[in-house]
Homo-oligomer: A and B are copies of this chain.
């Protein structure tokens, strides 16, 4: 989710990506949890590798809140390498020589898939707040429609971190017979009160911007840049850890010997945060931020299954491998462990690894050797069980 993640990546060359969009017409609506039939709608996606003859080598990569489908290709907006270049590629855990990897921009986002910044066909102007509120289940339903259109029913693996991990859990719960293996990382089966609170701060920051215009800023030709930047700054702190911030910045001053007794970015950490805020505004839509944070807030897999999380996975045959990161305080190990306990209660096949790192929540995007090795082992073993060469 963070820009740092890109810098900390080993520089992998971008691999061959097929970039595409798929549009569903007025007669092929997406049925949303809120009751709305959304049509038409478009899904932007990328694929890497080759679909095998029996279509048994499909890996679905699910992205986090502010990421996109450019998981292993240069981002056309920022020019940066794919956000999971460290995981996807020849010889890497998601081996493009073996697997057919699909990554779709989620419904409600702003990178090509239909979201609040697209034109509402009923009005001829951008949806804004007329876009229906979407859920994690809606994202997954849209992904399934796109895959079915590609002739794909079954997934060898579905993998993702943070909100991507919520989608993984939703996939395994909603389509258990279609998911051979599932890898939720740095995630939770329900968004916590503290996380809802941080999201609400971000939304209020956007809505407080006079240029938000009740969501109709596109028609007005303005952008709630300041509010969106503040939202990003607050969120960005939660993606890191206190030890990592201390290690990277401490109380170091930014290009100066002494404090200035003013409100400039005297400290490196302030300068860094301001950069995170301002660069985010260049690549993300403020209303999409409202909608996608709301989808995460609403996620509560146990509530959808009579209050018992294990019921979400009853009789599952899916092989699970979960990862948490020791310094992640946004989706702490305890949140991930709750999922493991529910899977155990459902007698599921489950592995769980807590990766020791000081890099916080964003660690799932970074180059963590233990993550890499464990992923390699789990995916290799699952591939053998699936009969993939």
Query: Which B residues touch A106, using CB under 8 A?
Result: none
Q: Complex formed: what's the CA distance from A93 to B266 in Å?
A: 40
Complex: A267 Cα to B299 Cα, angstroms: 13
Cβ 8 A contact of A192, one of B242, B266, B273? B242
Asked whether B201 lies within 8 Å of A251 as measured between CB atoms, the reply is no
Q: Decide yes or no: A267 and B226 within 8 Å by CB, A233-B204, A234-B234 being known contacts.
A: no
* CA of A300 to CA of B267, assembled, Å: 13
Check if A269 sits within 8 Å of B208, measured CB to CB: no
Instruction: Kindly state the separation between the CA atoms of A167 and B49 in the bound complex, as whole angstroms.
Output: 62
Instruction: Establish whether residues B237 and A204, one from each chain, have CB atoms under 8 Å apart when the complex forms.
Output: no
Decide: A297 and B267 in contact? CB cutoff 8 A: yes
This protein's copies in its complex: 2
| Across-interface contacts of A233 in B (CB, < 8 A) | 197, 200-201, 204
Q: Is A55 an interface residue (CB 8 A)?
A: no
Given A201-B234, A263-B294, A269-B200: A208 in contact with B193 (beta carbons within 8 A): no
A197 close to B262 (CB less than 8 A): no
Asked if A273 contacts B226 (CB within 8 A), the reply is no
The answer on a CB contact under 8 Å between B273 and A290 is no
* Residues from chain B with Cβ under 8 Å of A245 in the complex: 192-194, 197
Instruction: Identify A246's interface contact among B192, B234, B263, B290, CB under 8 A.
Output: B192
Contacts of A53 in B (CB 8 A): none
Write out, one digit per residue, whether chain A residues 289-308 have a CB within 8 A of any chain B CB (1) or not (0).
01000100110100100000
Mostly, the A contact residues are helix
Cβ–Cβ < 8 Å partners of A259 in chain B: 298
Interchain CA distance A294-B266 in the complex, whole Å? 10
A contact set with B: CB distance below 8 Å: 33-35, 129, 132-133, 190-194, 196-198, 200-201, 203-205, 207-210, 226-227, 229-230, 233-234, 237, 242, 245-246, 248-251, 259, 261-263, 265-267, 269-270, 273-274, 277, 290, 294, 297-298, 300, 303, 329, 332
Pairs A–B under 8 Å by Cβ, sample size 20:
A34-B261, A190-B251, A192-B245, A193-B250, A193-B267, A193-B269, A196-B251, A196-B267, A197-B273, A204-B226, A204-B230, A204-B233, A204-B274, A208-B208, A208-B209, A208-B230, A234-B234, A263-B290, A263-B294, A266-B297
